[in-house]
Chain A
Amino acid sequence: MKYFCIFYMTAAAIILLAISSCKNQRRDTIVSLGTKNGVLYFGNQTEPEDLDPHIVTGVPEFHILQSLFEGLVTPDPRDLHPLPGAAHSWDISEDNLVYTFHLRSEATWSNGEMVKASDFVFSFQRILSPRLGSEYAYMLYCIDNAEKYHKGALKDFARVGARAKDDTTLIIRLGSPTPYFMSLIMHDSWYPVHPPTILKFGNIDSRGTRWTRPENFTGNGAFKLADWQINKIINVVKRADYWDAQNVKLNGINFYPIENNQTEERMFRNDELHVTTNLPLQKIDWYKNNAPHLLHIDPYLGTYYYICNINRPPLNNKKLRKALALAIDRKSLTDDILKGGQIPAGSFTPPNTAGYLFDPVVTFDTIEARKILSETGFKSGDSLPPISVLYNTSESHHIIAQAIQQMWKRYLGINVTLVNQEWKVYLASKTKKEYDIARMGWIGDYNDPNSFLDLWLTGGGNNNTGWSSPTYDSLVKQASKSADQVERFRLFSQAESIFLDELPAIPIYFYTNVYLLKPSVKGWYSNILNMHNYKHLYLE
């Protein structure tokens, strides 16, 4: 009995000590040290797949690449208009087909060599090489003959419209006018790579070579890759020989791959991160009430929607789709559940995408919804064939799905079943069109309505609904070729009206970016592409 008592008393003493000892006088927290040393601690969600700008596809990768590379132009952090980058100026021909970029002679690679126009041409050739298998090669299809080269129809790259006139002059010839060209080239697929480095570790079209390792890496950005430990940290440090080094205030950035967003939030709270990628929705209210100065909610260029399988009854019935769309109380979803400032979506393209505005037409109207449902021929919800809603198991999808399920039941008397699938299974079901209704989200690649509306072209790779409309196709194609902005937007509006009348996809809400940011980070502006050029940031 004696030993037993001693054992438990010691344990109790330790616990008491733990609880009674007041909060330790903390020395410098990680973040305050970082602020002092000019190092930004960045919560970056997942381990990057690679750091090759022509291979990667994800947002976390893009966060890192932005520090390591510099495109021809860089986005202004406030409104994303193109600022000079590797090119100090550019001319556009009368017919909007030829863009001439004048590169800086003082811009260098991290190994000291000059960034030449031919490096860009090499990079374009690389990403368009069929064998590289780059998933974002289509971002360069606006260049004359680029699509043909990428698809193997054209073997000679000299016939593709990219040419280095001399070391500092890059001429890009387009196949047809592309009004959003300047925002297109800010995408990471347009970043240059250093040809000798690529060729040292493989061919121009070799995938997954060792050139992206810290000891081999060559970039032209304001920072260089110093350390990369898988699933632990990626550290970039300021380059002293970067052409604009005197304006770069950060000394370095630590990117942490924190997959669990609850962990990320706790790290932020414990002063281990300056900025997070997102915030779990359960925590939004707490920050709103207790620390609103840390909470950031930025509009984001993305739409959350449900797609309908047009080939399968009963969703081949346009009126039924319409009734379903009208019976979703979007405002309740965004205000009561998501709480992250999301905007109820009454149209497909997010409002103010590059200045494009479309009046919301899909509203919440239960009376109208019931009226339309009665016109479908289905007397009550019960006489409908079974409908299932497919979603992938993650984040808030199941919450949204349950809420919508309840709304349809309550307002229309329609019972739908929910089917959740693991991510890749869900993708496969969607591609094979084995679903009735499926949840989807789309984030624009570039700031233009085209990035949203070309989704629904007949046979488009991401149009998994089976919907097709020749009028819609011709309107969107016409708009993407037109150089006149007003005319384009008019065509886009017409196309979008057709789409929203047919409703192969039911828009639900427009995304926002909800994240946490320490007030010590200065020069951080919100923008719809969530691009934050680290060059302009400083810590205080």
Chain B
Amino acid sequence: MKKNGTYSRGTSLMRDALRRFVRNRLSVTGCIVLLFIITLCLAAPLLTPYTYDYQNLSSGATPPGAQHLLGTDILGRDLFTRILYGGRVSFAVGLCATLVSVLIGVAWGAIAGWYGGKTDTIMMRFVDIAYAFPFTIFVIILMVFFERSLLLLFIAIGAVEWLTMARIVRGQVMALRHQEFVDAAIGLGLRQHQILLRHILPNIIGPVIVYATLTIPAIMLLEAFLSYLGLGVQPPSSSWGILIREGTESMETYPWLLIFPAVVLSLTLFSLNFIGDGLRDALDPRSSRE
């Protein structure tokens, strides 16, 4: 163990946070549910005798039953299997793209908000411009110049989703910059980036986590639109977003095609939000003062 003071203080902070997080029953439940769903998705081949593209045209859409746990879609494919395999894509896209958007958004917003003035103006006007650019065209053009791939999908989603995050973070940082503890830190002669990393970022973790957990489902659904444009998942593979979109079309005739994917997505979303709340409470530097 290092003797460095900051380091050991840091670990105890983390340990504190972990302790607080574990004490929060709801977020632990959220973690368990989420892990359960992820495990199911990863273990898909062991859990189902069908493949995601095995069709039985003559049977068509059948309601949930003994043979097909959650029923089949109009091509006679097992819905349970398709949800599990689709989950892999949705998780990968949802989590990775959110991470990308959080990293870019927080960095961009924090720098703009902290330095202010011309830097802020230029950076925020860039955000405005990126906001206004027609997303559909952007995606279509992306696909002209690059091979369609998962990476391209992350870029496309990352390119839009960090914008609001940047605005939120910038607003927060601007507000914090004028607080006493920042003045104190400046007075103590700390470097700017140190203040930003040590003092400002921990204080904006709340809105960041809240917004990030809300971004994940939005991204999972956005992915469905992108595959409509030809980017992302190609049939016969699927994702939760696509399953829900297709389920909507037959929601009155074959309701199970909508209900099950929607329930799984909602479960995931709730778990993520409870985990987010737990994290927020656990990481909030001020809550330790209580």
User: Do A and B touch each other in the complex, judged by CB within 8 A?
Assistant: yes
User: Which residues of A come within 8 Å of B, CB atoms?
Assistant: 262, 280, 282-283, 285-286, 329, 332-333, 336-337, 393, 398-399, 401-403, 405-406, 417-422, 425
Contact B234 A417 (CB under 8 A): yes
Chain B residues within 8 Å of A425, by CB: 140, 143-144, 230
B285 at the interface (CB under 8 A from A): no
Chain A residues within 8 Å of B211, by CB: none
Interface string of B230-263 (1 = CB under 8 A from A): 1000111000000000001110111000000000
B203 at the interface (CB under 8 A from A): no
Chain A residues within 8 Å of B252, by CB: 283, 286
Nearest residue (CB) in B for A421 is B230
Nearest residue (CB) in B for A262 is B249
Contact B236 A402 (CB under 8 A): yes
Chain B residues within 8 Å of A403, by CB: 55, 57, 75
Nearest residue (CB) in A for B143 is A425
Q: How far is the CA of A128 from the CA of B60 in the complex (A)?
A: 51
Chain B residues within 8 Å of A402, by CB: 53, 55, 75, 235-236
The interface centre, meaning the residue of B229, B235, B248, B254 with most chain A CB atoms within 10 A of its CB, is B235
Contact B234 A419 (CB under 8 A): yes
Chain A residues within 8 Å of B235, by CB: 398, 401-402, 418, 420
Contact B230 A336 (CB under 8 A): no
Q: How far is the CA of A397 from the CA of B235 in the complex (A)?
A: 11
Contact A418 B253 (CB under 8 A): no
Chain B residues within 8 Å of A417, by CB: 234
Q: How far is the CA of A406 from the CA of B50 in the complex (A)?
A: 14
List, sorted by A's number, 30 A–B pairs whose CB atoms are closer than 8 Å. A262-B248, A262-B249, A280-B249, A282-B250, A282-B253, A283-B252, A283-B253, A286-B253, A336-B58, A336-B60, A337-B57, A337-B60, A337-B75, A393-B229, A393-B230, A399-B75, A402-B55, A402-B75, A402-B236, A403-B75, A405-B236, A406-B53, A418-B235, A419-B230, A420-B228, A420-B234, A422-B136, A422-B230, A425-B144, A425-B230
Q: How far is the CA of A419 from the CA of B232 in the complex (A)?
A: 11
Q: How far is the CA of A433 from the CA of B75 in the complex (A)?
A: 30
B218 at the interface (CB under 8 A from A): no
B74 at the interface (CB under 8 A from A): yes
The minimal Cβ–Cβ distance linking B82 to chain A, given in whole angstroms, is 12
Contact of A418 among B75, B236, B254 (CB under 8 A): B236
Interface size, B (range): 20 to 34
Q: How far is the CA of A419 from the CA of B248 in the complex (A)?
A: 23
Q: Which residues of B107-144 have CB atoms within 8 Å of chain A's CB atoms?
A: 136, 140, 143-144
Chain B residues within 8 Å of A329, by CB: 57
Nearest residue (CB) in B for A406 is B55
The interface centre, meaning the residue of A280, A393, A405, A406 with most chain B CB atoms within 10 A of its CB, is A406
The minimal Cβ–Cβ distance linking A428 to chain B, given in whole angstroms, is 9
4 new A-B contacts, CB < 8 A, other than A280-B249, A282-B250, A420-B228, are A262-B248, A337-B75, A402-B55, A418-B236
Contact (A282, B254) CB under 8 Å given A398-B235, A421-B230, A425-B230: yes
Contact A399 B143 (CB under 8 A): no
Chain A residues within 8 Å of B53, by CB: 402, 406
Q: How far is the CA of A282 from the CA of B58 in the complex (A)?
A: 15
The minimal Cβ–Cβ distance linking B274 to chain A, given in whole angstroms, is 20
The minimal Cβ–Cβ distance linking B139 to chain A, given in whole angstroms, is 9
Contact B140 A399 (CB under 8 A): no
The minimal Cβ–Cβ distance linking B265 to chain A, given in whole angstroms, is 20
Contact (A332, B57) CB under 8 Å given A282-B253, A285-B253: yes
Q: How far is the CA of A421 from the CA of B76 in the complex (A)?
A: 25
Q: How far is the CA of A417 from the CA of B227 in the complex (A)?
A: 15
Contact (A393, B250) CB under 8 Å given A399-B75, A418-B234, A425-B140: no
Q: How far is the CA of A422 from the CA of B236 in the complex (A)?
A: 17
Q: How far is the CA of A418 from the CA of B233 in the complex (A)?
A: 11
Contact of A332 among B58, B136, B140 (CB under 8 A): B58
Interface string of B212-232 (1 = CB under 8 A from A): 000000000000000111100
Interface string of B171-183 (1 = CB under 8 A from A): 0000000000000
Nearest residue (CB) in A for B57 is A336
Q: Which residues of B182-230 have CB atoms within 8 Å of chain A's CB atoms?
A: 227-230
The interface centre, meaning the residue of B74, B76, B136, B248 with most chain A CB atoms within 10 A of its CB, is B74
Chain A residues within 8 Å of B234, by CB: 417-420
Contact B228 A393 (CB under 8 A): yes
Q: Which residues of B44-84 have CB atoms within 8 Å of chain A's CB atoms?
A: 53, 55, 57-58, 60, 74-76
Chain A residues within 8 Å of B229, by CB: 393, 422
Q: How far is the CA of A393 from the CA of B231 in the complex (A)?
A: 11
Nearest residue (CB) in A for B229 is A422
The minimal Cβ–Cβ distance linking A516 to chain B, given in whole angstroms, is 15
Q: How far is the CA of A418 from the CA of B148 in the complex (A)?
A: 13
Nearest 3 A-B pairs (CB), nearest first? A282-B250, A336-B57, A421-B230
Chain A residues within 8 Å of B236, by CB: 402, 405-406, 418
Contact B74 A282 (CB under 8 A): yes
Q: How far is the CA of A393 from the CA of B140 in the complex (A)?
A: 13
The interface centre, meaning the residue of B53, B58, B228, B230 with most chain A CB atoms within 10 A of its CB, is B230
The interface centre, meaning the residue of A285, A336, A393, A425 with most chain B CB atoms within 10 A of its CB, is A336
Q: How far is the CA of A356 from the CA of B55 in the complex (A)?
A: 37
Chain A residues within 8 Å of B250, by CB: 282
Q: How far is the CA of A401 from the CA of B234 in the complex (A)?
A: 11
Q: How far is the CA of A343 from the CA of B255 in the complex (A)?
A: 29
Contact of A422 among B55, B140, B248, B254 (CB under 8 A): B140
Q: How far is the CA of A337 from the CA of B236 in the complex (A)?
A: 16
Chain B residues within 8 Å of A286, by CB: 252-253
Contact B75 A282 (CB under 8 A): no
The interface centre, meaning the residue of A280, A286, A422, A425 with most chain B CB atoms within 10 A of its CB, is A422
Chain B residues within 8 Å of A401, by CB: 235
Q: How far is the CA of A332 from the CA of B235 in the complex (A)?
A: 20
The minimal Cβ–Cβ distance linking B158 to chain A, given in whole angstroms, is 21
Chain B residues within 8 Å of A332, by CB: 57-58
The minimal Cβ–Cβ distance linking B135 to chain A, given in whole angstroms, is 13
The minimal Cβ–Cβ distance linking A84 to chain B, given in whole angstroms, is 45
Chain B residues within 8 Å of A398, by CB: 235
The minimal Cβ–Cβ distance linking B210 to chain A, given in whole angstroms, is 22
The minimal Cβ–Cβ distance linking A169 to chain B, given in whole angstroms, is 54
The minimal Cβ–Cβ distance linking A87 to chain B, given in whole angstroms, is 47
Chain B residues within 8 Å of A333, by CB: 57
The minimal Cβ–Cβ distance linking B51 to chain A, given in whole angstroms, is 11
Q: How far is the CA of A329 from the CA of B57 in the complex (A)?
A: 10
Q: How far is the CA of A29 from the CA of B256 in the complex (A)?
A: 32
Chain B residues within 8 Å of A283, by CB: 252-253
The minimal Cβ–Cβ distance linking B239 to chain A, given in whole angstroms, is 14
Chain A residues within 8 Å of B55, by CB: 402-403, 406
Q: How far is the CA of A337 from the CA of B60 in the complex (A)?
A: 7
The interface centre, meaning the residue of A280, A329, A401, A402 with most chain B CB atoms within 10 A of its CB, is A402
The minimal Cβ–Cβ distance linking B194 to chain A, given in whole angstroms, is 44
Q: How far is the CA of A417 from the CA of B148 in the complex (A)?
A: 13
